[in-house]
Amino acid sequence: AIAELCHGNGDINIERTKAVLRDLGVPWFLQVIDSNNQERVNAAQFCLQSILNAFSGMENKADSKPNKEMCNKYKKEIDTLLTCCVYTITDRTITGLARDAIIELITRNIHYTALEWAERLVEIRGLIRLMEVCSELEEYHYESAMNITPSSRTIASVCLARVYENMYYDAAKAKFGDQIDEYIKDKLLEPDLESKVRVTVAITSLLLGPLDVGLTIIGREGILQMILAMATTDDVLQQKVACECIIAAASKADKAKALSTHGLVYVKLGVMVD
């Protein structure tokens, strides 16, 4: 019913949508989406998309394009909603289903053919939040762990890839790379095992998403050596995440120039796979 209030075109529709946001607020929708009921999560996600559509002139169709004039006119409203969604990505209290739905909503709207919001996501340090999700492991429980689903890391990886697609010029790509670098370096400064495991899991997600960035990271001095060392320990979890990372990198061997100076990786990989 709320989505229908925001559906349609024209000034009346805009006023209704503004009234919905004024009376309920974005936090209310984010509370509704925080559920383990898939139908409820889908309904809340649809409502949020309907609000974005109302302000941008888009429709719930695959080939729908935004109205640039409307996007400029209601930029504040669009920015507010998407910014709230980005900040919610790393909320430790929400369900895995809610987290997935929010990231999917962001992925759907940031592309240049949609709301052209990728650079803004980088500006508000959304990449750090996506990397936090990419580094989570369902089987590795610790005090500050997030609730995730088996699909969460893949969904976050797809979002990272979509953002990177929209980094059209060198300066934008550099900002993207710098933010990923910052996340990796900060984690590696922490002495505990958890940080090494999470970095390795995050690198695997990069290799399955923005590949160029993932290969650059794994090609850094000491990173591959760390992963190989983890693969040879007696710790099953370290072995698992290290092997997944090596396999992800080696599967891109035609592009993996970063690995070319480490020929033994392929020998080790063959042993591990066998």
Q: Which pLDDT tens digits describe the chain residue by residue (274 residues)?
A: 565 555 655 555 788 888 888 888 899 999 999 999 999 999 999 999 999 999 998 887 777 889 999 999 999 999 999 999 999 999 999 999 999 999 999 999 999 989 999 999 999 999 999 999 999 998 777 777 899 999 999 999 999 999 999 999 999 999 999 999 999 999 999 888 889 999 999 999 999 999 999 999 998 889 999 999 999 999 999 999 999 999 998 887 665 554 554 444 444 444 444 4
Give the pLDDT score at 271.
43
Determine, yes or no, domain membership for 141: no
Give the pLDDT score at 19.
86
DSSP per-residue string spanning 231-263 = HTSS-HHHHHHHHHHHHHHHTTTTT-GGGTT-T
Give the pLDDT score at 13.
74
Determine, yes or no, domain membership for 10: yes
Number of domains in the chain: 1
Nearby residues of 139 by Cβ (< 8 Å), 6 or more positions away? 237
Determine, yes or no, domain membership for 218: no
Q: Are 144 and 194 in contact (CB under 8 A)?
A: no
Give me the domain span that covers residue 47.
Answer: 1-124
Determine, yes or no, domain membership for 184: no
CA dihedral over 62, 63, 67, 72, signed as positive or negative: positive
Give the pLDDT score at 252.
72
Give the pLDDT score at 262.
45
Model pTM score? 0.89
Give the pLDDT score at 261.
46
Tokens at residue 272, please? Answer: 């591990």
How far apart, in whole angstroms, are the C-alpha atoms of residue 251 and residue 255?
9
Determine, yes or no, domain membership for 74: yes
Cβ atoms within 10 A of the Cβ of 129, count?
A: 22
How far apart, in whole angstroms, are the C-alpha atoms of residue 147 and residue 91?
9
Tokens at residue 247, please? Answer: 């396999």
Determine, yes or no, domain membership for 241: no
Determine, yes or no, domain membership for 195: no
Cβ atoms within 10 A of the Cβ of 77, count?
A: 19
Determine, yes or no, domain membership for 94: yes
Four-CA torsion 11, 14, 19, 24, nearest 10 degrees? 170
Four-CA torsion 178, 117, 75, 52, nearest 10 degrees? -140
Give the pLDDT score at 3.
57
